[in-house]
Amino acid sequence: MSELPTQTHHRVCHLCEAMCGLVIQTQDNTVVDIRGDQDDPLSRGHVCPKAVALKDIHEDPDRLRKPMKRIRTVAGEYRHVEIDWPEALDLAADALATTIERHGVDAVGAYFGNPSVHNYGMLTHQRNLFRHIRTRNRFSATSVDQLPHHLVSLWCFGHMLLNPIPDVDRTHYFLMLGANPLASNGSIWTVPDVRKRLKDLKARGGKLVVVDPRRTETAELASEHLFIRPGTDAAFLLAIIHVLFRNDRVNPGVLADFTDGLETVEQAVADLTPEWASPLTGINADDIVRVAHELADAEAGICYGRMGVSTQAFGALCQWAIQVINVATGHLDKPGGSLFTLPAMDQVVNTNPGGFGRFASRGRGLPEFNYELPAVTMVDEITTPGDGQIRLMFTGAGNPVLSTPNGRALDDALETLEFMISVDPALNETTRHADVILPPTSPLEHDHYDIAFHNLAIRNTARYNPAVFDKPEGALHDWEIFSALGERVAARLNLEPMASVPPDRLVDAALRGGPYGDDSEWQLSIDRLKAHPSGIDLGPLNPSCPDRLQTPDKRIRLAIPEVLEDIERFRRDNAETSDSYRLIGRRHVRDNNSWMHNHHRLMKGKSRCHLLMHPDDMAKEGWQTGMTVAVHGRVGSIEAELQGSDEMMPGVISLPHGYGHARGGTVGEIANQHAGVSCNDVTDEQFIDALSGNAAVNGVPVTLSACS
């Protein structure tokens, strides 16, 4: 018998923000080889271990292939059984329509998780359903992750998606706070092969300074690492701004012609000296002055902060201070500084700029952003009686029981719902509560265009790839699920259904109407991208201001009243230091939240779910590596294996994110073998960034005790 022919496919890895190009070899319906695409102009052949695991994800025996219905057994226990698609879609649509008829649209809650942004069908077709359900009870991973970025971009630049991107390939000085791109491959910053790019920065005489409570993989590579107490980054950043003004280092250059508010900022930081910041942060005052001077004097420089500064009690203040620093030093909108992208499918032009505080949550009065409420208030909105109480919950590609603060409370709250619907391929810690689960096709069974991450990339490129495998008979893509549900709900409520246009046609129209489309020399379209399966290079990021700004007057706004008031909140809340340990998270290159824990290639090797603690703290407590320690927070306690590490700042402990598997009713053999504990069983839904409503899952005050 002759060997089956091998087929070659080009594909972009969708498992993180890096958009690494792949060449995939298949035989029949089996992946036989995955490697980096050397011709991809963005990733240049780079891949990380996650890309190879695409084979495991596609072939995962625990991945749901058919809809599931939750039933109660004679013994009173719940389990899920397979049903056909018509029954599943009717069941879900009837529940949605009935809930709306009885209680109104706000009785429907919706949560969309991190993977939904990595799958363009979910982005293009959610509206086919939710145009009929304009509920105020929408939530997403945005408010447990990156909301401060978007809020500051809205306030300062006029659009929530106008995020400045670090031009690492041309910079000379990089000040990085609370970010570990060697593990994450970049975040709000699509930067494949970041290790080589940072090494190249140092090789050309540049400097990388990392500020982090942990000496991360990126900090190990850096020219300099400064430990900082969790939650005090705002003091460090505000003191840098103070030094820039005090020592005549403010030089916005051409930005001065279209920037407002620098004088007001100067007044706000007049007494926020390095000497004030030093005891709060643990960073020597002389180092704060030196870093400020080095950044200001650099030919091209970047100040950038990510998870560690966003997901804390002053996340929005930190992100605002970062942009003030970039503007004040003249490094914004400059090659080698931070620049705005001009992607082929331009989300800044194609989407609403966003809004903030137009309504608030019922239970706690937390502000909406982009018509979403903060995820930390989900439990309140499910359990608080009255008009607008969530009675039906819809989740898409999310596992908030493990990924949002006080996950145990949400776990309990989901059981009180009248109905729950999940569009998800996994029977996990969240979807186990769903009355019906609607699983979409495997990522390799549908085509792909990165709508979101081209808007965050260090270079303007475009790439579209067809599906690697045919859609299995009887399966549905996620966009088809949303379209089918939308049609059924519209019929039940006597509304006009939305036309269901395949997502590649929507992207094609956006490409043709975009900056590289029919009116340009590029003539970009889906067909042109099909002819260039490794992608098309559209060039480096270029200065684009003031034209790219989306504020009505095309000016950068820095004197944001809400932020200036938040400086005073920071002063009040940090008047006294605490003796509590501070809990922070951490990321691994073979990891991305809870949805990658059921694959052997990503989970093999030593356990990664242990509690890191500095040896001096262990000696003080009389503890040793390998023992079990209880971590206590306001909402509960967890137990984890202790591991000593001098990469931790004294007084700081670290647990990875996304663990806590092996709960009843889930299906995930490998994940359950590596269950670990959920750090979000001690993070606190009351501990938030009060300005933005974002969850503060870093810098959480906790106490520790030894387990007998």
Strands 628-633 and 436-438: unpaired
Domain end (from 41, 59, 77): 59
Q: Which residues contact 176 (CB under 8 A, 6 or more apart)?
A: 208, 209, 210, 211, 218, 222, 302, 304, 305
Residue 463 covered by a domain: no
Q: What is the pLDDT of residues 681-696, one digit of tens each?
A: 999 999 999 999 999 9
Vertex 49: Cα angle to 44 and 52 (nearest 5): 85
Task: State mean pLDDT over 17-37.
Answer: 96
**Same domain for 55 and 72?**
no
Q: What is the DSSP string of 133-151?
A: ---S-EEEGGGGTTHHHHH
Q: What is the pLDDT of residues 273-316, one digit of tens each?
A: 999 999 999 999 999 999 999 999 999 999 999 999 999 999 99
Task: Concatenate the DSSP letters of all residues of 494-561 into one string.
Answer: T-PPPP---HHHHHHHHHHTSTTSTTSSS---HHHHHTSTT-EEEEE----TTTT--STTS-EE---H
Amino acid at 697: V
CATH number, position 208: 3.40.228.10
* pLDDT, position 172: 98
In a shared domain, residues 111 and 172: no
- Inside any domain, residue 151: no
What three-state secondary structure class fits 128? helix
Q: Are residues 331 and 442 in the same domain?
A: no
1 pLDDT exceeds 60? no
Do 375 and 325 have their domain in common?
A: no
Residues whose CB falls within 8 Å of the CB of residue 412, separated by 6 or more in sequence, listed in order: none
Say yes or no: 302 and 426 in one domain: no
Per DSSP, the three-state class of 661 is coil
Looking at the domain assignment, is residue 497 inside a domain? yes
pTM listed for this prediction: 0.97
Question: Is residue 24 helix, strand or coil?
Answer: strand
In a domain, 472, yes or no: no
Is 318 found in the same domain as 175? yes
Euclidean distance between CA atoms 28 and 469, whole angstroms: 9
Nearest alpha carbon to residue 298 among 172, 167, 174: 172
C-alpha 62/C-alpha 58 separation (Å) is 10
The rounded mean pLDDT for the chain is 96
Partners of residue 629 on adjacent β-strands? 640, 706
Residue 279, preceding peptide bond in cis (omega within 30° of 0):
no
Structure tokens given for 685: 């839904």
Alpha carbons 665 and 648: distance in angstroms, whole number: 36
Q: Are residues 179 and 35 in the same domain?
A: no
Degrees to nearest 5, angle at CA 433 with 430 and 436? 110
Whether residue 521 is predicted with pLDDT greater than 80 in this model: the reply is yes
Task: Report the percent of the chain where pLDDT is more than 70.
Answer: 99
- Whether the per-residue pLDDT at 230 is higher than 60: the answer is yes
Q: Based on the structure, what is the number of domains in the chain?
A: 4
Q: What is the pLDDT of residues 471-507, one digit of tens each?
A: 999 999 999 999 999 999 999 999 999 999 999 999 9
* Domain presence at residue 684: yes
Same domain, 205 and 321: yes
108 three-class SS: strand
CA distance 557 to 547: 15
SS3 letters across 388-419: CCCCEEEEECCCHHHHCCCHHHHHHHHCCCCE
Residues 6+ apart with CB under 8 A from 413: 378, 379, 382, 383
Tell me, letter by letter, the H, E, C secondary structure of 616-656.
Answer: HHHHHHCCCCCCEEEEEECCEEEEEEEEECCCECCCEEECC
- The residue written with tokens 């916005």 in the block is 252
Residue 579 has pLDDT above 90, yes or no: no
Residue 76 region, left (φ>0) first, then alpha (ψ -120 to 50), else beta? left
CB atoms within 10 A of CB 389: 18
Q: 540 in a domain, yes or no? A: no
CA separation for the pair 425, 428 (Å, rounded): 9
Same domain, 336 and 234: yes
Token pair for 151 = 């809020």
**Tell me: the pLDDT tens digits for 638-682?**
999 999 999 999 999 999 999 999 999 999 999 999 999 999 999
The answer as to whether 21 is a domain residue is yes
Which amino acid, residue 314? F
Contact status, residue 183 vs residue 219, Cβ threshold 8 Å = no
Assigned domain for 99 exists: yes
Residue 597's pLDDT band, with cuts at 50, 70 and 90, is: very high
Q: Which domain holds residue 321?
A: 158-343+545-566
Q: Is the pLDDT of residue 146 over 90?
A: yes
The answer to whether residue 408 scores a pLDDT higher than 60 is yes
Q: CA 671 to CA 365: how far, in whole Å?
A: 37
Q: Are residues 339 and 351 in the same domain?
A: no
Contact call for residues 219 and 225 (beta carbons, < 8 A) = yes
Statement to judge: residues 243 and 225 lie in one domain: yes
The CA distance from 14 to 465, in Å, is 12
pLDDT-derived band at 578, boundaries 50, 70, 90: confident
Cα-only R_g, the chain: 25
CB 168 within 8 A of CB 198: yes
* Model confidence band, residue 577 (pLDDT cutoffs 50, 70, 90): low
CATH code of the domain covering residue 643: 2.40.40.20
Q: Give me the percent of the chain exceeding a pLDDT of 90.
A: 94
Instruction: For residue 138, give the CATH number of its domain.
Output: 3.40.50.740
What's the pLDDT tens digit per position in 102-142?
A: 999 999 999 999 889 999 999 999 999 999 999 999 999 99
245 shares its domain with 292:
yes
Tell me how far apart the alpha carbons of residues 276 and 687 are, in angstroms, rounded to a whole number. Answer: 24
Judged on CB neighbours under 10 Å (0-12, 13-18, 19+), 494 is exposed
